[in-house]
């Protein structure tokens, strides 16, 4: 039941993005398939030819008032998590991650977290949650500084 709901949600998001872009006439090539892809808005900065962020990231971003399609800037997979840095058409950065222990599905507020106002400092991206937890990500590691000051570092997995 849960899998069916997730699949239907993904299909719905994809269809919505495609229809919205078709109405505006936006078309670009999907780097994964070579076929057309139809973003909701053509990026004005950032990585217009980069891969799109996950459908669940697009959906969550829209729920947070983000306009346009997010493109992937960075992705890191560790033994217990997967984290993405995504960019909107205006160049704003977002952090979206999921704790994948045991194959956990993306459930916002439980296994997944979406944060705006990401700060880029060299090759590092930092995002701070409302509760003060700081997430720092590079190509090589994900570091989480908890409210009590303890630090958890997860190295990238192949």
Domain boundaries, the chain: 42-155
**Highest mean pLDDT range out of 16-25, 43-52, 104-113, 134-143?**
134-143
Higher pLDDT, 28 or 75: 75
pLDDT of residue 100: 79
Q: What is the pTM of this model?
A: 0.69
Residue 39 reports pLDDT greater than 80: no
Sole residue written with tokens 């704003």: 92
Sign for the CA dihedral angle at 52, 134, 6, 102 comes to: positive
Higher pLDDT, 74 or 36: 74
Residue 48 reports pLDDT greater than 60: no
Q: Average pLDDT for residues 51-55, to the nearest whole number? A: 94
Phi and psi angles of residue 5, each rounded to the nearest 5 degrees, phi first: -65, -45
**Which of 64, 66, 65 minimizes the C-alpha distance to 109?**
64
Residue ranges of E strands in 40-80: 71-77
């Amino acid at each position: 039941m849960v899998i069916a709901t997730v699949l239907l949600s993904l299909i719905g998001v994809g269809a919505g993005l495609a229809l919205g872009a078709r109405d505006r006439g936006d078309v670009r090539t999907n780097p994964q398939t070579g076929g057309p892809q139809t973003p909701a808005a053509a990026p004005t900065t950032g990585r217009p030819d980069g891969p799109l962020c996950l459908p669940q990231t697009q959906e969550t971003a829209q729920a947070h008032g983000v306009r346009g399609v997010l493109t992937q800037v960075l992705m890191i997979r560790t033994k217990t998590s997967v984290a993405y840095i995504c960019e909107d058409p205006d160049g704003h950065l977002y952090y979206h991650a999921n704790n994948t222990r045991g194959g956990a599905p993306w459930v916002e507020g439980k296994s997944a977290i979406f944060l705006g106002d990401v700060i880029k400092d060299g090759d590092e991206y930092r995002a701070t949650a409302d509760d003060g937890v700081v997430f720092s990500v590079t190509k090589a590691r994900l570091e989480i500084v908890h409210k009590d000051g303890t630090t958890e570092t997860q190295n990238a997995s192949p």
